[in-house]
Chains A and B, each alone.
Chain A
Amino acid sequence: MSDIQLKIDHKAISVPEGTTILEAARKVAVNIPHLCYHPDQTIKANCRICVVEVKGSRKLTAACSTQVWEGMEVLTNTRKVRDMQRGILELMLANHNQDCLKCHRNGNCELQDLCERFNISRTHLEDAVDALPLDNTNPALVRDSSKCIKCARCVEACQEVQEVHVLTHSHRSSRFNIAPAYEMSLEDTLCVFCGQCAAVCPTGAIVEKDETDLVWDAIEDPDKHVIVQVAPAVRVALGDAFDLPKGEIVTGKTVAALRRLGFEQVFDTNFTADLTIMEESHELIQRLTKGGTLPMVTSCSPGWINYIEGTFDDMLDHLSTCKSPQQMFGALSKTYYAELKGLDPKNIYTVSIMPCTAKKYEAARPEMTSGGVREVDVVLTTRELSRMIAAAGIEFAALEEDQFDNPFGIGSGAGAIFGATGGVMEAALRTAYETVTGKGLPSLDFNDVRGLEGIKEATVKLNELELKVAVASGLSNAKTLMNQIRRGESPYHFIEIMACPGGCLGGGGQPIRSTNDIKQKRMDALYEIDADLPIRKSHKNPDILHLYDTWLGEPLGERSHALLHTHYRSKAK
C-alpha cells in the first residue's frame, strides 16, 4: 500500500492508503468527536457527529467512514463544523432521557463526554423522548431505550460478533428503534445474556441489572454469614475503574477492598476453577477411554450454555456435565463449608464477583441448588463491585494488599488462566496429560491455544492418542465449530468455548470501554499470574487434594456427581 499525502487543519501528513480521516486526524493530535464509531467494530457512520469539511465537497463528510485521498484537504475545526456537530448532539439529546445523575453510566458515558466537550447548555429543541417500556424482567440485563442513541453498536455485537440475532432494528424514522423482534423483552428471546451489547453501549441504554443493594442488605443482616468469591478475570480489570494502568494485577487490593466492604470471608474462584479441571479432565479421559460423546465441549461459560440450549439444543450431550467454577464454589459453600463452620446453609449468603452478566442468569437457574438452597445468592459484575467500592469511599489504588481466606484461598496458575480464552483448555491439558501419561509435562505452556484469535487449535500426544483440541471465543466462532460437529466433520476430541471474545477477560460485566488492546493487556496479566505461581497445575493444588481426600472422594465420584455436575435443557422449545 502506498502512502497518501493530505492536509488536516493545514498540517501536511502522510498516511497509508485506506486510512480514514478520523484515524489520520489522530496523527496530527486531533480527536474528531465520534459516537457510533468503536475501534473493534465495523464503520457505521450513522450518528454523524464526526462530520468535517473536505475542500471541494458540497456537503460535510463523515470522518469515520471516509478514506483519505491524495491531496485531500480536511478542516476539522471551523465554525461550520463545530456548529453542525453541536447541532447533531443537540438532536440526540432532545431524544435522550437526561436523568444523567441517576444513571449507572454517569461519569462514564460517551454521550456525556461529548456534552462536556461541546459545552452544551440549553437548546432550542423540544424534548421528544420516545421510548419502549423498560425491559428489566430478566436476571442479567436492563434495556432502557429512552437512553438509546441508535448507534447500533449493540446490534453488531449481537448479530455479527455473537450471531445471536436478538437485537435488531425495528420501524423507521422517529419510530426507528433497536429492540428484539416484535419488541419482545429479552427474557422471551434466545438472548444469552452475555452482555456484549452492554459492553459496547456508549450510554446507559443497556446495563447490567444492579444488585448491589441486595449485597449491602446481606452484609448488614446479623443473621447472615456473607462470603464472597472472586473470578480470575476480575483481578486484571477492576483497576480500570480506579484509573490504574490497564491490565494491572490487583488481586491483593481486591481482597482488601472486599474485606473492608464487610464480607466475612473472601475466597478465590481460582480454587474451584482447579476443582473444575479435576472433574472435567477426568470426564474427558473417561469419554476417551470408556466411550462417550466426542468432542466434549466445556461448560463453564454461562453465555455459551444459554446459546447451545437455544441454538444447538440437539447437541447438548457434547457438553461436559461439570458445573462452572462459580457454581462449584456455590455448591461447596452451602455444603462442605457449612459443615466445616457448623453453619446452617440457609444462613450462608454467597456472593460472586464475576466479569460476566450471564453469571447472574446461571446463578438463578433452578437446578443450581445445593444443601436445599440456592448455591450462589447474588452475582455482582466487576462494574457493580467498583460501584460498591466507590460508594464506601475506599481509595482502591491506595489499599494495602491482602490475601484470600482458607479453605478456598489457594488457586493454581491453571485456575488463574481460566479468565482468558484458551485458559481452560490449557489447564485441562496440563492435568489430563499428567494423569494419562503419568509423566511430568516438559513445558506447561500450550502456546497454540493462547491469544485473542477467535478459533485456535492444537494437537497433544497422550501416549498413543493424538488428542486434537480447539478453542473458540465469541459465539460466532462457537457456531463455526458446532456446525462442523453437526456436519460430522469435527476432527476434535475436546473443545473449549467461551461466549465472550477473548474469554472472561472480555466479559460483558467488565469495566466499560474494554477494547481489544485492553483485553490483550488483561490476557498478558493472567499469564503473568500463572507464570509467577509456585503451583501451576490443578492436580497439584494441595487444598484441592485435601478436599478430595477428606470429603469429596474421587473425581466423578458420588459426591462430586451430586454437587459438581449438572444437566442441560433445550430452550428452543
Chain B
Amino acid sequence: MNKTVRFITENFGKYDVRSIISCIEAGGFKGLKYALTMTPSEVIATVKASGIQGRGGAAYDTGKKWRQAAEVPGDDKVVICNADEGEPCTFKDRAVLENDPFRLIEGMAIAGYAVGAQNGYIYLREEYRHLRPLLLSAIEQSKSQNLIGQNIQGTNFNFEIQLYSGAGAYVCGEGSTLIESMEGKSGRPRIKPPFIKECGLFLKPTLVNNVETLVAAAAILKKGPEAFVAYGTEKSPGTKLISLAGNVKNPGAYEIPFGTTLREIIEDIGGGLEEGHSLKLMQLGGASGTIAPASLLDTPYTYEDLARAGLDVGSGGVLVVDDRTEVIDFIQSIQEFFIHESCGKCTPCREGNRQIGRIIERYVAGAPRPDDLDTAKRFAVIMSQCSFCGLGETAQSALLSAIRHFPESFQTERGARG
C-alpha cells in the first residue's frame, strides 16, 4: 500500500531538470506567476492560511515569519535558502535540488516578493558540490526567462539569486552561523540581538528558510492552501518530506501526509526491516534528535504526537536501527559526531561534549565509574539548558532519551551492555 503523496514532489521525474522550458511545460513557475498577480500581503496571507511550519527543524510558523520579515523596515532585504542539510541521515532537501531545482528558485522568488527582498542566496552544503552546476544553470535559465532578475514578468519586482557553498561545518546550518560563514568569517553562531530578521547578512534584514519550506510555499501558491491542508492534521497541516534511512529495505526521501504512523513509515514505505532482524530503536530528526524504542512505533508522525512521545520532527530524518547495533555504540557514534562538530565557542558545548565523550568511552569499554551516569546526565542537561546555540542545546538529546528508554545500557556493572 502506498502511503506517500505528491504535493511538494509532484514534478519529481516529470521534466528534464537541465531545461527550464521542460519545467515550464510541466507546470513550473505557476505559483510565482500567480503570486505576482497578488499583493505581497496576500501572498503572505496565503502561506499563513496553509499553516506550514518551518521545515529546517524549528517548526516556526512560516506565514508569521514572512509577515515579520515584511514588516521590518528597509528596502534592501535578503532571502537565504538554507540548503546546508547537515543533519546526518537527512537528504530530503537534496532530493528536491536534484529533482526539481526550479521550484526552489520559484519559492525563493515568491518569498522575496512577499517580504520585499531584492537578493536571494542559496547556501549549499559543501558535500552537495556536485549540484552546483545544476543550480547555477537553473539560476541562469530562470533569469533568461525573466522569472528572476529585473522587472520580473513585467512587474517592478527585481530579485537576483546567487549560489554560495559552505565549507563543511555542521553548525553552519544554524541560521546566524550560516550568515557568518557567508560573510567569510569562521562558522560560529552570532550573538542575538540584533536578530537576523533585522540585521542579518551584511547587516541587512534577512529571511532564512529551509529548502523544503520554500518549495512547499511555491506549491501552496500554485495549488492553494486548501489543497495543502487537505493533508495532515489540524495542528500539523499538509505534507512532509522525510529521509528514511538505516536498516530498512527501501531507504529514501519520501513525501508523506502528516499523521502517518512511524510503523507505516518503516513497514509500508520502507518495506520493513531486513529478514531476521528486529527493531532496536529509531532516531528522528538527525543526530540532534531523540531516540525512540519499538514501543513507540504506533505514534503518528505529527508535531503534536511526536512531542507527546518526547520526539521531534526536526530535520525530517527517520533513522531505523535494528538489533545488530548496541545502544551504547550508537550513542558513541552520535557523541563523536558532536565532538567533531561543536564550534568550540561556548563552554557547555566545547567542554561538555568532551567530558561526556569520555564517559561514553568508558561505557563502551565496559568499565564505567559509579558516578558516570549521574555526571553524564547532569552535564547533558547543562548543555541543553545553557549552550550558546542549538547545536549544544540538542547534542545530548540522543543520550538523554537513550538513558530514559534503555536504562539497562547504562548499568555500571562490567559487561552489562544492552
Contact = CB atoms under 8 A, between A and B. Distances in A.
Contacts of A520: none
A461 interface: no
B360 to A, nearest CB: 12
B385 A51 contact: yes
Interface in A138-190: 149-150, 169, 171-176
Contact of A173 (B191, B341, B348): B341
Interface string B183-222: 0001110011100000000000000000000000000000
A59 B386 contact: yes
B353 interface: yes
B272 to A, nearest CB: 37
Contact of A150 (B193, B344, B374): B344
B169 A128 contact: no
Interface string B345-379: 11110111111001000000000000100110011
Interface in A48-105: 48-49, 51, 59-60, 62, 65, 67, 83-84, 87-88, 91-92, 94-95
Contacts of A134: none
Interface stretch (A39-47, A229-237, A496-504, A564-572): A39-47
B355 A60 contact: no
A46 to B, nearest CB: 5
B8 interface: no
B343 A88 contact: no
B344 A88 contact: no
Contacts of A126: 355, 358
B386 A124 contact: no
A125 interface: yes
A173 B340 contact: yes
Interface in B155-187: 169, 186-187
Interface string B205-242: 00000000000000000000000000000000000000
Contacts of B355: 91, 94, 125-126, 128
Contacts of B351: 91-92, 94-95, 128, 174
Given A59-B385, A59-B393, A65-B191, A176 B344 contact: yes
A173 B169 contact: no
Nearest to B346: A46
B347 A172 contact: no
A83 B377 CA distance: 13
A59 B347 contact: no
Given A65-B191, A87-B379, A126-B358, A173 B386 contact: no
B355 to A, nearest CB: 5
Max count, chain B CB within 10 A of own CB: residue among A48, A83, A95: A48
A173 B187 CA distance: 12
B273 interface: no
B384 A59 contact: yes
Given A125-B355, A173-B342, A45 B348 contact: no
Contact of A128 (B343, B354, B375, B393): B354
A129 to B, nearest CB: 11
Nearest to B339: A173
B353 A174 contact: yes
A45 B388 contact: yes
Interface string A311-352: 000000000000000000000000000000000000000000
B343 A46 contact: no
B49 interface: no
Contacts of A59: 384-386, 393
Interface string B137-168: 00000000000000000000000000000000
Nearest to B349: A173
B297 interface: no
Given A59-B384, A126-B358, A171 B346 contact: no
B371 A124 contact: yes
A51 B379 CA distance: 15
B131 interface: no
A173 B353 contact: yes
B347 A174 contact: no
Interface in B35-92: none
Given A45-B191, A125-B375, A176 B386 contact: no
Given A65-B191, A84-B385, A126-B358, A175 B347 contact: no
B193 A67 contact: yes
A150 B350 contact: yes
Given A59-B393, A124-B371, A176-B350, A51 B386 contact: yes
Contact of B378 (A62, A87, A171): A87
B134 interface: no
A259 to B, nearest CB: 47
A46 B375 contact: no
B302 interface: no
Given A91-B379, A124-B371, A47 B347 contact: yes
Contact of A87 (B339, B353, B354, B382): B382
B256 to A, nearest CB: 28
A49 B347 contact: yes
A46 B393 contact: no
B382 A88 contact: yes
Nearest to B345: A46
A62 B381 CA distance: 16
B306 to A, nearest CB: 17
A202 B355 CA distance: 23
A377 to B, nearest CB: 42
B387 interface: yes
A88 B382 CA distance: 8
Nearest to A176: B344
B384 A174 contact: no
Contacts of A172: 169, 187, 341-344
A297 to B, nearest CB: 33
A480 B382 CA distance: 44
Q: Which 8 A-B pairs have the closest CB atoms?
A: A176-B344, A91-B351, A173-B342, A87-B382, A124-B375, A174-B354, A172-B344, A60-B385
Given A87-B379, A126-B358, 11 more contacts: A46-B345, A48-B346, A60-B386, A65-B191, A88-B382, A128-B351, A150-B347, A172-B341, A173-B350, A174-B339, A174-B350
Interface of B: 169, 186-188, 191-193, 339-348, 350-355, 358, 371, 374-375, 378-379, 381-382, 384-388, 393
9 contacts: A48-B387, A60-B386, A87-B379, A87-B382, A88-B347, A125-B355, A126-B358, A150-B345, A174-B353
